[in-house]
Amino acid sequence: MSNSETLQLAKTLLERPSITPADEGCQQVLGDRLKSLGFELESMIFEDTTNLWARLGQGKPVLCFAGHTDVVPPGDPSDWSFPPFQPTEHEGYLYGRGAADMKGSLAAMIVAVERYLKQVDEPPFDIAFLITSDEEGPFINGTKRVMETLESRNEKITWCIVGEPSSTEQLGDVVKNGRRGSLSGSLSVIGVQGHVAYPHLAENPVHSAANALAELTQTRWDDGNEFFPPTTFQVSNIHAGTGAGNVIPGRLDIEFNFRFSTESTSTQLQQRVETILDAHNLNYQLNWKLNGPAFLTAQGLLINKVQCAIKRVCGYPTKLSTAGGTSDGRFIAPTGAELIELGPVNATIHKVDECVKITDLDTLTDVYQAILEEMSV
């Protein structure tokens, strides 16, 4: 059994069933460790969500570690090899909901900062932690609200390391330096309900919308760029009709989503969709929801230092990627911060028997500490 500081802290966090938006005292555990290091703690509670903003120092550029204590529901515990909220070591892995996403990262961040501060008299930058319990849920009262608060008082994050599980085959092989934007649309095409035997007395919205929908699915929205694939459009839900086979529907409801690159903006995409719908003379209602803008951190100080740290600790280079879904980085990067995501292997996240290799927790701690050291020179 390992005596690793990171492992022990991770287990303390894992035994708390912090299903979104519950924190279940995780931030108290982390805050106590940070307070003993001299961090000033600020608990930001918005509605049902608890957030922690902790900062060491005032007035210097800010290096921030960001993460979340909330986890997705485990499902039926009987499907798990071990109870999901009873952290278990087995054959070199630590099992438990949140082991990889992302309580293991939080534990590694805390221990890395503790070790770093023991070897420096005064860091050349302020160190901060932004921890939320709203990343896996509606993402309304978590990092988004914290960033709005920080921006309102002109408190800026210069560099940010998000502990999302970015690795694919081995720890540190992939670092996320951006994410595609996510834009959702709820489209209702209005027709006139009627009997299928009397189509001249009705207007079928499925027929009316067919050509427009075909054009939307065949449109090339952009060509992507060096970091992003082309923007994609996908229909996720579609419904019309009453269930009866002899009734022409009076309404067609369509849910769709864009995952977009930095070559397109949400405004441009909305305008292009509405232009297509208008060109087909549809009677429609359309509501938009921007889940997050596309963001990208180009090659610069933070990425250079992170690449050096991973090479130094792991012995191999890392690959930059913008693949995957959204993360809370979408609320931090637009404020001007250089941001990357670096965490454990993501093979088991959100799955039954979520786990992380125990040695990876220690390696991740070493990488985070090495980043702090590299940023200091």
Q: How far apart are CA 318 and CA 299, in angstroms?
A: 13
Q: Is 90 annotated as a binding residue?
A: no
Judged by DSSP in three states, 290 sits in strand
Q: Is 136 annotated as a binding residue?
A: yes
Active site residues: 70, 135
CATH code given to domain 181-292 = 3.30.70.360
Q: Is 164 annotated as a binding residue?
A: yes
Phi, psi of 300 (to 5 degrees): -165, -160
Phi, psi of 93 (to 5 degrees): -120, 150
Task: Answer left, alpha or beta for residue 315, where phi above 0 means left and psi between -120 and 50 means alpha.
Answer: left
Q: How far apart are CA 124 and CA 121, in angstroms?
A: 10
Q: What does each of the 377 residues of the chain score in pLDDT, given as a tens digit?
A: 467 999 999 999 999 999 999 999 999 999 999 999 999 999 999 999 999 999 999 999 999 999 999 999 999 999 999 999 999 999 999 999 999 999 999 999 999 999 999 999 999 999 999 999 999 988 899 999 999 999 999 999 999 999 999 999 999 999 999 999 999 999 999 999 999 999 999 999 999 999 999 999 999 999 999 999 999 999 999 999 999 999 999 999 999 999 999 999 999 999 999 999 999 999 999 999 999 899 999 889 999 999 999 999 999 999 999 988 888 999 999 999 999 999 999 999 999 999 999 999 999 999 999 999 999 99
Listed by start position, the domains of the chain span 5-179+294-375, 181-292
CATH architecture classification, 5-179+294-375: 3-Layer(aba) Sandwich (3.40)
- DSSP E strands in 207-335: the ranges are 232-240, 247-248, 251-260, 284-292, 295-296, 319-321
